[in-house]
Amino acid sequence: MAVLLVVGGLRQAKEERGPGAVALPGMLDERAGDRLIGTAVDDGALQREPGYREVLARQFSTLTPENAMKWAVLEPERGRVEWGGADRLVAFAEEHDQEVRGHPLVWFGQLPGWVEALPEPEVQQVMREHIRQVVERYRGRVRTWDVVNEPFEDDGSRRRSIFQRGMGDGWVEDAFRTARTADPDAKLYLNEIGAEAPGPKSDALYALARDLRARGVPIDGVGFQGHFNLEGMPRGFRQNVERFAALGLDVAITEADVALEMPASEGELRAQAAVFRGVVEVCRAVPRCRSLTFWGFTDRHSWIPATQPGRGAATLLDEELRPKPAFRSVLRALGR
């Protein structure tokens, strides 16, 4: 965000602090029952914006670091580990009696360059060291981990990440077993994007989860990210989630948002609210859906404008932390 400078720096300070918290028409976490309601957390806003922190503390029961636990942030140079953002989030959650969903331990994206450049024979050792280092630091403090994130291409083939090239198909199992050793009590998840509907990617994810489960690999759940737009949820979303739950696995919606073309009309905001309501209803309809996490809660801090030019307004609150129709719709869906 651009910062305006004026005499005395008063405008600058105001911009950096962000808007103050608004009185919202209900509490998301109080209506959630036995399901956790969470959000991704922007570390910069957590540090600088009291209004953001106030909403974060009051409205959610579980927090996911948006970037602070990604490998490139934690260890930008080999051997130089920077725990600041991750430590801040975990401490904030503990102060406010919230759980933490660690995200992600192993992902092809946002890797530091030194990992991408590893000779293939070193990949297994380095991956194991990274998992052990991170999970052991937060052992007993981070309850759930997205151990492996996005291992498949859209056609259901294995993504040719450095881990796939260096270790073959066994890298996913290796990651889960390493994480279990580092914290025997944590819940371990396999997380995927674009697998909400039945199809090649979802079928490949299902086959992997079933195989891991059958062979005693310590997998506790599967996460469906839930990045949608006004096309709505894909047909068969609920039935797809149910088949994973039928394996004896927990399921979660881990990154829900609904992107709009900008500028968004009032009608589009109402349509967005209906999509969010449907997401909540899917989670409520599946007993093993343990948590629903929104990928950010305010349009002030959303990944959509930077990654999908021309789109935005994807969250529950506007840039001034005021409730949108989506917030009220989610409240109703949770309280029904």
Report d(CA 144, CA 189) in Å as an integer. Answer: 7
Closest to 220 measured CA to CA, from 150, 142, 279, 290: 290
The span from the first CA to the last CA of the chain, in angstroms, equals: 38
Among residues 66, 75, 99, 150, which one is catalytic? 150
Residue 141, strand partner residues: none
| Beta strand 289-294 pairing with 187-192 | unpaired
- The amino acid occupying position 273 is A
Report d(CA 23, CA 195) in Å as an integer. Answer: 36
User: 255: which 2 tokens?
Assistant: 């990154």
* Catalytic annotation present for 150: yes
- In the block, tokens 């965000």 appear at 1
* Catalytic annotation present for 153: no
Report d(CA 175, CA 219) in Å as an integer. Answer: 10
CA angle, residues 195, 198, 201, in degrees to nearest 5: 45
Query: Could you tell me the sign of the dihedral formed by the alpha carbons of 106, 240, 256, 293, in that order?
Result: negative
90 touches 138 (CB < 8 A): yes
Output phi, psi for 308, to 5 deg: -130, 80
Which DSSP category does 7 fall into?
A: G
Rg (CA), the chain: 20
Based on the number of CB atoms within 10 Å of its own CB, is 216 exposed (0-12), middle (13-18) or buried (19 or more)? Answer: exposed
Residues annotated as catalytic (active site), given as ranges: 150, 255
